[in-house]
Amino acid sequence: GSQVYRYLRKYRGVLVTNYREFAFIDGTGDEALIARPERQLAASEAEFWQLVQDPSQLDPEVAMLLGDFLGLSLRYSVPITEPKELAQELAVHARRARADLAEADISRLDTLRSELEQSLGIEFVGTRGTRFFIATIVQTVFYGLFSAWAQWSRDPKVDVNEAPFKWRHAGKYLRVPVLQDVFDEVTKSANVRALDIEAHLDRAGRVFSRVRQDELFSKFDGEAAIEYFYEPFLEAYDPALRQEFGVWYTPRPLVNYMVERVDTILREELGIEDGLA
């Protein structure tokens, strides 16, 4: 309506709600300005008033996703200068993608699921296994998104001011084969539409346009980018899952020590002249 357009002209972004449905209209992009409800607190007015009377009826997952959505709406134009801020912002989009993926038919990822089971030596069995598989896929895609953006940002052939980063081109900037394979399989045109995660990747891709790259990359060496992303992303994405499966980032100095120590033991104590080699 006219009121929304007046706000858009002045503020470039408008949060629209009837208290039980919520939509955010971004007036800064090229997309058609259509307010489709993105988050729903209640399916009807009667259900809404029941929640008002008894908030304990609210599904915790719905509450979390609504909080994520409102947070994204409030921060839609805020510059990002810290690695932790970027990680947390992308984690919100990852959680929303995971929620929609949990409702989708993921049978088209059966081949990828089988390949991961073989390579990791595990099986994604039952409800818990499927949950872990979905969480793993989403994490991997978003790690890939960040890694590709970090490489793209430092590509001398790219003018970051001329054209924005596109998640569809991320595959060619991924250097780790398994990361590239998973990212490419999940983001195939047919898969990304059927799995209902395209909108989440689009929005996650636009997050990078808010990054002040000089400030953010000044916080660390380019090769160490993933180290500054991994911990805060996983903590924001799913701290319970992180704890449950014991997923922690091991600092590079500790890894170096472990490798050197094993190599020394092999050579000096076990008589294997070439050590790890």
> Residue 236 contacts by C-beta under 8 Å, 6 or more apart in sequence?
87, 88, 91, 92
Reference 138, options 165, 114, 104, 164; nearest CA is 104
Cα–Cα distance for residue pair 201/168, rounded to 1 Å: 9
pLDDT at 203: 86
List, as one string, the DSSP characters of 72-117. HHHTTT--B-SHHHHHHHHHHHHHHHHHHHHHS-GGGGHHHHHHHH
Give 6-26 pLDDT, tens digit per residue.
898 888 888 989 889 998 888
pLDDT of res. 150 = 87
- pLDDT value at residue 37: 67
What is the C-alpha separation between 124 and 134, in angstroms, rounded?
A: 10
Return the SS3 of 13. strand
Which residues in the chain come in under a pLDDT of 70?
Answer: 28-37, 220-227, 245-247
Give pLDDT, residue 269: 95
Check if the beta carbon of residue 15 is closer than 8 Å to that of residue 39.
no
What is the Cα–Cα distance from 157 to 151, expressed in whole angstroms? 11
What is the model's pTM? 0.78
Q: Evaluate whether 62 touches 35 at the Cβ level (below 8 Å).
A: no
pLDDT of residue 30: 53
Share of the chain above pLDDT 70, in %: 92
Q: What does the block give as tokens for 148?
A: 């590709």
Write out the two tokens for 138: 């989403």
d(CA 149, CA 177): 16
pLDDT of residue 68: 86
